[in-house]
Amino acid sequence: MSIRLFMAALLSGVLFISVGAIVLISTFLKAQLMPLVTSLESSASLQAVALEVVLISFGVAVVLLMLVFFAVGHFIADPIRKVVKAVEAFSTEGTRPDIGSFKGAPREVTQFIAAFAGFADRVDEAHKHDVEISRVKSDFISTAAHQLRTPLTGIRWAIEALELEELTEGQKALVASAKEKSHQLVSVVGTLLDISSIESGKYKYVFVPIDLDQLIEEVTRDFEPMAVKAQVSLLFEKSGQGTSYPRADRERIRWVLNNLIENAIRYTPAGGMVRITTEVTPERAYVRVRDTGIGIAPEDRGNIFERFYRTPTAIAKENSGNGLGLYIARTIATDHGGELSFAANEAGPGTTFTLSLPFA
């Protein structure tokens, strides 16, 4: 119930009580005065006077109540309603509409408006501070990644050249290990550059209609050797609802699928299964990657898409990883107008990640 309705109900009650009191008082007075009145004319005159008193009292009460109702609406209800709308706009859109000043409003109302203005100022300052910190971190990541890429490329070339030399088996093993580690470092640098591009708004996309089923088949074939080595069954089941062609950046969506499927295989124990399915609706295409792996603990689910976050169970199962893959994957999905979400499997262990892409 709004303040206006509450005050209307309250004042209406007061009005009825006042009218009832006036009627009772007039009835009482008439009963007391009637024995003193001897003539019929005097009795009628007394009744007329009593009726006039009742009507005048009623009219005065109505006027006073209307004035009170207007004052409450203008000085209390209107300011509070404007503050509520301002709070909603500030929380949903980040805008701060002008509330205005309300001269004559009660002190509590003006204090409430001033408290909101102070709160909004502090939030704006905190947001600007966070944006500046984020910009500094993004600049640092970009600079560091660019500085690392050149020497890492030189190291990789040197290792590849060293592979061509005549080496002992032990030396070959060391060179192979160094080559693998150099590739991992180059991949990390590439990921850091992707993060920098995302946060600076330079992550470019080429949106074209893509054959989603064909792309998933290609990615699935790429991961078959990894699945065989991990002794995990890898299956792709088409929706059966026809081929879907959402508008997307093919290579970026491939990156997302690579991340989801690689994680699913990596964190699924031997003998488990990774199952990829698609679903098509009039508005969207859905890709679901379901595994029977270690799952995500409830306390970790709120942070799973945060930068550099890895769950304790993931670290225990697989020490390598930087905690950036899902953050980038969800950003790509969001930039496509889609969504990346996950849920624990209703039946059995593991997790299901769902990628949605719009057709328009």
Domains annotated for the chain, with CATH where assigned, are 3-105 (no CATH), 127-200 (1.10.287.130), 208-358 (3.30.565.10)
Segments in 105-249 forming alpha helices (H): 107-163, 169-200, 212-230
pLDDT above 50 for 257: yes
Q: pTM score, two decimals?
A: 0.58
State the pLDDT at residue 40.
Answer: 45
pLDDT above 90 for 111: no
The CA-based angle 104-105-109, given to 5 degrees, is 155
What average pLDDT does the segment 226-255 reach? 86
Pick the residue with more confidence: 149 or 5?
Answer: 149
pLDDT above 50 for 18: yes
Q: Are 212 and 278 in contact (CB under 8 A)?
A: yes
Of the listed ranges 3-17, 55-69, 199-213, the one predicted with least confidence = 3-17
| pLDDT tier at 273, thresholds 50, 70, 90 | very high
pLDDT above 60 for 107: yes
Residues 63-83 pLDDT 10s: 666 766 666 666 666 777 777
Of the listed ranges 181-185, 249-253, 336-340, the one predicted with least confidence = 181-185
State the pLDDT at residue 339.
Answer: 93
Round to the nearest angstrom and report the end-to-end CA distance of the chain: 42
What average pLDDT does the segment 145-159 reach? 81
pLDDT above 60 for 6: no
State the pLDDT at residue 139.
Answer: 74
Rounded to the nearest integer, the mean pLDDT of the chain is: 77
What average pLDDT does the segment 308-318 reach? 68
State the pLDDT at residue 171.
Answer: 85
State the pLDDT at residue 1.
Answer: 46
- Percent of the chain scored above 70 by pLDDT? 69
Of the listed ranges 107-111, 183-187, 212-216, 289-293, the one predicted with least confidence = 107-111
State the pLDDT at residue 44.
Answer: 59
DSSP 182-220: HHHHHHHHHHHHHHHHHHHT------EE--HHHHHHHHH
Closest CA to 285 of 245, 225, 234: 245
Q: Side-chain half-sphere of 153: how many Cα atoms within 13 Å?
A: 8
State the pLDDT at residue 175.
Answer: 85
Q: Are 95 and 123 in contact (CB under 8 A)?
A: no
Of the listed ranges 96-110, 210-224, 281-295, the one predicted with least confidence = 96-110
| pLDDT tier at 223, thresholds 50, 70, 90 | very high
